[in-house]
Structure 1
Amino acid sequence: MITESYGLVKITYPGIGTFTDVDFYDSKWRPFVAIPQSPEEIRAIFMLENRKNQFTPYRFFYNEFEKIRSSPFDPKLRTKIIVHGFIDSSSSGHWMRDVKDKYLEIEDTNVIICDWSRANFFPYTVATANTRVVGPMIGIVIQQLCKFFNVTEDSFHIIGHSLGSHIAGYAGKFLNGKLGEITGLDPAGPYYEGLKDTRARLWHTDALFVQSIHTDATHLLESFGFGTYETFSHIDIYPNGGRTQPGCDQERSTAIQTEGLLYGVRRLIMCNHQRAIEFFKESMIDPESTPFAYACDSFEAFDRGECSECGLDGSRCTILGMMAQKYRSFIKNPDQTIGRRYFLTTSPHNIFFSKKN
């Protein structure tokens, strides 16, 4: 129901939340606030696979509770939920299928892809608003799976790219921080960076463990950067300094010829932004070869060799990707990692990681 009072527009979507056209307004960082579309307009589709039904995904909407109850979800397995960002989809974003297939190769697990591509196009202000609805939709799916299959929220891990990272955060908030893990792959900066209200963005309290990999942190107005340099996770990793990635200049020059128009244009504009995905995928291929990242005051100091030790309590280093949470369990006081920036270097092309340094 939409209401308007003294110029304030407010809408409530039952079970999802109430939204206004001034939520999280900031004259510098979020000068225009849009009302999100309804869940029926967004129409996010969920696609569940495990080894029993691999390559024949079981499709359902967030409120199809009987379909969720009768799904091939296996309560003995942990669950990964993969969600894309702006102008992406499960069909065009082959990275989602790559990550799904790699998880199922490593071990039997429930993998759910969330496709919200009906609601992630221009204008960007509306796409960002819609993330606040998609997050609770994912949260409701998790609640229903917990109810029907007697599992707990901490067995779920959401992997989100760009706006999908903040969607993961909203899902975690909806579940009161009980979510097991969030991996943010270059969380979106525009319309999130600079906001002081942690309800507006991904934050380390949204799950028991939150890791973010930052690869495109140059400000949008400076160099079309789509990520953020800010820290907000338990572990924030900045490969190659987190702003620009080696090899992207060369890839841009050949992208359209080698990858076709659609993928080529995306690579042309978003190579740095997509690198977080490539790094995460490679960490899945050979977790033992993923190098350490080290806490340092700046990438320049790291590059000079000033930061190359884990410290007495182990909190001054971490591992990117799949091994990060396991490594964190060995740290005496793991919350010491919050607010630190961890750096590592990669090669310009596949294979990005050499053996551990």
Structure 2
Amino acid sequence: MLKLYLFISLMCLVRSDTDEPCPSFTRLSFHSAVVGTGLNVKLMLYTRKNLTCAQAVSPTDLGSLNVTKKTTFIVHGFRPTGSPPVWIGDLVEGLLFVEDMNVVVVDWNRGATTVIYSHAAGKSKNVAVVLKEFIDQMLANGASLDNIYMIGVSLGAHIAGFVGEMYDGQLGRITALGYREPLGNIDFYPNGGADQPGCPQTIFGGLQYFKCDHQRSMYLYLSSLRENCTITAYPCDSYRDYRNGKCVSCLTPQKESCPLLGYYADHWKDYLKEKDPPMTKAFFDTAEEKPFCMYHYFVDILTWNKNIRRGDITIKLRDKAGNITESKINHEPATFQKYHQVSLLARFNQDLDKVAAISLMFSTGSIVGPKYKLRILRMKLRSLAHPERPQLCRYDLVLMENVETVFQPILCPKLQM
């Protein structure tokens, strides 16, 4: 009798909303967050046939869900103001744009809406139980665990993890957006995983100061669905090693391609599909605004100064149309020694196909004291994203400190590595 009681009580958590012709995400107010909300889980199915009008589904009614197709669950997190997540519609549309699938939006706003995080967190396992009941019904109708994909955002990532644990890690895939410590088969760290470019750096940025960095993971994921750029990540032990250009071996012909951020991350290497694949950290940088892509180049500099020089390099590229893109390589001073080549990883927010002019500027960062020169025997620019492009060179340059030097590059000799 106890088991029957538990089953009934959990089923009551699911709201079908059959009276709504097009169920919509629950919209609550800040007042609801203050007084608190009881848990009520609402499941809404979207497909390419009903892209703009959801269908209410539940563990007892799968609706028109096609169990032979992939089913992607979207699980939101903590909602301290009660408003719907602004990204929900874009994510549904983007997923259905790239693949014909079932998309199930898990609306547990009644439960997630509270000003006390622990109250919402305490309800998360109950949400996972409801999702398990729904998936169990799918399996009973012929679905496969391999075809189930869960995207969890913030506290929703924990819910997705609970569901995965209930199936002993046999779900097809889980994407968790909003946790810093390594947990997955591959963990992506944009800009090192801390402060994100374009987000407010102080409390004077208002509400965005508290949520911008955290929400960026979702917008980076969205960029993998509809934007005209692909964000490449680089497996690496640390962000510092990545910035120092030590982690680009996945781009060599002898290696497989580098992992891609977002929806297509599971295309990287067969070992991600193994039973117990190793954990991998992957780092990358982003631009401040959409579509966030950065384009990586190596700037190889061979110097002939008698004395060692330490400093930063700023490089600008310009094409014939006048488009200019800039990279400041200043995360740590580079060390330039006589007849020693230094390879610096430059990151640009535009990809200029044909570079007509290059400028370099050297700086030691010193405010007082003498100005130094950096004598360059050879500068070479090579694209990591497009290694088939000709490498560009320039010889016998003298950079005066803090003075921008502009020049036209020439093609490097083909035998030059």
2:42 pairs, out of 41, 45, 48, with 45
2:57 pairs, out of 57, 60, 65, with 60
Counterparts of 2:8 and 2:281 in 1: how far apart (Å)? Answer: 37
Contact 1:83–1:160 (Cα < 8 Å) also in 2: yes
Partner of 2:190: 239
Superposed structure 1 runs of 4+ greater than 3 Å apart: 12-17, 88-91, 250-255, 311-317, 330-337, 354-357
Counterparts of 1:89 and 1:143 in 2: how far apart (Å)? Answer: 33
Contact 2:185–2:272 (Cα < 8 Å) also in 1: no
Counterparts of 2:204 and 2:223 in 1: how far apart (Å)? Answer: 23
Q: C-alpha deviations, 1:204-228, integer Å up to 9, x for none? A: xxxxxxxxxxxxxxxxxxxxxxxx2
Partner of 2:78: 86
Q: Displacement of 1:315 after TM fit? A: 7.8
1:248 and 2:199 aligned = yes
Between structures 1 and 2, the one with greater strand share: 2
Counterparts of 2:48 and 2:81 in 1: how far apart (Å)? Answer: 23
Q: Displacement of 1:330 after TM fit? A: 6.8
Partner of 1:219: none
Counterparts of 2:64 and 2:46 in 1: how far apart (Å)? Answer: 8
Worse-superposed segment, 119-128 or 178-187: 119-128
1:283 pairs, out of 208, 217, 224, with 224
Name structure 2 gaps, 5 residues minimum.
11-36, 296-383, 386-417
Name structure 1 gaps, 5 residues minimum.
3-11, 18-39, 188-227, 256-264
Q: 1:157 to 1:59 in 2, by over 3 A?
A: same
Partner of 1:26: none
CA RMSD for the aligned pairs?
Answer: 3.2
Compare CA radii of gyration and give the structure with the larger one. 2
Contact 2:177–2:218 (Cα < 8 Å) also in 1: yes
Counterparts of 2:210 and 2:40 in 1: how far apart (Å)? Answer: 28
Contact 1:157–1:182 (Cα < 8 Å) also in 2: yes
Partner of 2:364: none
1:351 and 2:291 aligned = yes
1:341 and 2:267 aligned = no
Q: Secondary structure at the match of 2:103?
A: strand
Partner of 2:120: 127
Q: 1:48 to 1:90 in 2, by over 3 A?
A: farther
Q: Displacement of 1:177 after TM fit? A: 1.9
1:320 and 2:320 aligned = no
Q: 1:75 to 1:350 in 2, by over 3 A?
A: same
Q: C-alpha deviations, 1:153-187, integer Å up to 9, x for none? A: 11010001001111001111122222110001113
Contact 1:90–1:113 (Cα < 8 Å) also in 2: no
Contact 2:45–2:102 (Cα < 8 Å) also in 1: yes
1:73 and 2:65 aligned = yes
2:161 pairs, out of 148, 169, 189, with 169
Q: 1:314 to 1:96 in 2, by over 3 A?
A: farther
Counterparts of 2:49 and 2:239 in 1: how far apart (Å)? Answer: 45
Q: TM-score, normalised by structure 1?
A: 0.66
Worse-superposed segment, 309-318 or 122-131: 309-318
Q: Residue 133 of structure 1 aligns to which amino acid in structure 2?
A: N
Q: Residue 163 of structure 2 aligns to which amino acid in structure 1?
A: A
Higher RCO structure, 1 or 2 (CA under 8 Å, sep 6+): 1
Q: 1:329 to 1:251 in 2, by over 3 A?
A: farther
Between structures 1 and 2, the one with greater helix share: 1
Q: Secondary structure at the match of 2:48?
A: coil
Q: Residue 232 of structure 1 aligns to which amino acid in structure 2?
A: L
Q: TM-score, normalised by structure 2?
A: 0.57
Q: After superposition, where does 1:211-250 map in structure 2 within 5 Å? A: 228=180, 230-249=181-200
Contact 1:43–1:61 (Cα < 8 Å) also in 2: no
Contact 2:42–2:107 (Cα < 8 Å) also in 1: yes
Q: Displacement of 1:297 after TM fit? A: 2.5
Quote the sequence identity (%). Answer: 30
Q: Residue 247 of structure 1 aligns to which amino acid in structure 2?
A: G
Q: 1:328 to 1:96 in 2, by over 3 A?
A: farther
